[in-house]
Amino acid sequence: DAKTTQPNSMESNEEEPVHLPCNHSTISGTDYIHWYRQLPSQGPEYVIHGLTSNVNNRMASLAIAEDRKSSTLILHRATLRDAAVYYCILRDYLGSSNTGKLIFGQGTTLQVKP
């Protein structure tokens, strides 16, 4: 699985948008971009994923660069409950060894200030 690079930490104010960047310059054509987050003292939870086009769901939006070498997770209005570690993960679903396993980096710790 290709490697991703994220900032160690970011801060945001409550009710403001947050843009969490992820670089993945060695991404392959069949790698999907996944985002998970981990709230304090909990297991990770799925946020969103995409391949080439921007994606929206009830939790967040995912903006993918045209060359796919970077992506940005967008939280439209941060709440205190969004304070968590956010992980950007690449997954190749078309490979012959598709086992579903995830390779986590250290992620970005998001602090939300009231």
Interacting residues toward other proteins by CB under 8 A: 32, 34, 36, 41-46, 49, 87, 91, 93-94, 98-107
User: Which residue carries 């086009």 as its tokens?
Assistant: 53
Distance from C-alpha of 78 to C-alpha of 97, rounded to nearest angstrom = 37
Instruction: Return the number of the residue (13 or 106) whose C-beta is nearest other proteins.
Output: 106
Find the farthest-apart pair of alpha carbons in the chain and give their distance in angstroms, rounded: 47
Closer CB to other proteins, 51 or 80, in the complex: 51
CB 85 → other proteins: shortest distance, Å? 8
CB 92, min distance to other proteins, A: 10
β-sheet bridge partners, residue 90: 33
- In the complex with other proteins, which residue's Cβ is closer, 13 or 56? 56
| Surface-to-core class of residue 21, CB atoms within 10 Å of its CB (0-12 exposed, 13-18 middle, 19+ buried) | middle
